[in-house]
Amino acid sequence: MYYKLLKLKFTKGVHFGNGSLEGAETAFNADTFFSAMCIEALSVNKEGAELLVSMVRENKLLLSDAFPYKDSILYIPKPIMHIERKGNSGLSERKLIKKIRYVPLDDFDDYVAGCANLSSDEYAFEFGKYSVNTRAFVYSEETQPYRVVSFSFYDSCGLYIVAGFGDEAVEEYIDELVEGLSYSGIGGKRSSGYGRFEYYKSKIPDKMLQRMEGEHSKYMSLSVSLPKNEELGKSIENAEYLMIRRGGFVASESYAKEFVKKRDIYAFKAGSCFGKRFEGDVFDVSVSGAHPVYRYLKPMFIGVNK
């Protein structure tokens, strides 16, 4: 498998939901991206989603969550692990650590070693700004106002995804799907133009690639993930992690006559750290509809050496 960066430059605001129109995230998870590609694939071929699932299960396709970049600086999740800070760690610094969500890739070794300069501009940088738009929902003769929160990236910023490909045919197929997504958008309120982006690929940095290969004392997942049942016991040995709920509604007109919720599932958040690698899977989270509904929960590991 070889890897490339998929860099997304958003041309308008985005609405990556957190369960409310009045709240929004600044990035999205790998399962959201995979679901969007499934919908795009189904618009081209009724077997498109099954083809994507087979690529993943045959280890020909691997995806990370989306993370921010600024110019040439790539950010990765703050590792969910105990780190001893060098020198005196006062209350103000402990508060600062809690606020940090992402670590610059080039500073990752220092962060894990406990000697990163957390007050530097790279840690304090904001990738964009939130805005609130008021809309009107018309129901019969009544008009009900509501608010939509969106996030707009600064010109030098956007999101990137690490993608692993088994061969060039898989890469070309994903290119077509992502190109289609760039026009339709990703996230919520796409009918209003949110979530559209320009898309280009670049080489994965050597520092990241080296961490993805070989043996390490600990492994951090760059994607939301969940072990298979038979992997669960060993995967949580020596692990430090956070669990997040993944749910939502099925975005398929052929699934049921009305909107139906997907089966809720709890998974490890990106940044969770493990003593051993595990494989994960694409899980069927359908309830009673006309076809399977897939949740992508495969880990993409990088090594963490303390």
> Which range marks the domain in which residue 156 is found?
2-304
pLDDT, tens only, 30-56: 999 999 999 899 888 888 889 999 999
Q: What is the 3-state secondary structure (H, E, C) of 124-192?
A: HCCCEEEEEEEEEEEECCEEEEEEEEEEEECCCEEEEEEEEECCHHHHHHHHHHHHHHHHHCCCCCHHH
CA angle 93, 98, 104 (to 5 degrees): 85
Amino acid 21: pLDDT: 46
Amino acid 150: pLDDT: 85
- Residues with Cβ within 8 Å of 123's Cβ and at least 6 positions away in sequence, in order, are 96, 100, 103, 104, 116, 117
**Nearest residue to 133 via CA among 72, 192, 61, 60:** 192
**Nearest residue to 66 via CA among 152, 163, 181:** 163
CB 63 within 8 A of CB 34: yes
Q: How far apart are CA 179 and CA 40, in angstroms?
A: 10
Residues of the chain with pLDDT under 70: 18-23, 88-90, 134-146, 249-259, 289-291, 306
Number of structural domains, the chain? 1
Q: How far apart are CA 277 and CA 227, in angstroms?
A: 10
pTM of the model: 0.90
Q: How far apart are CA 165 and CA 144, in angstroms?
A: 47
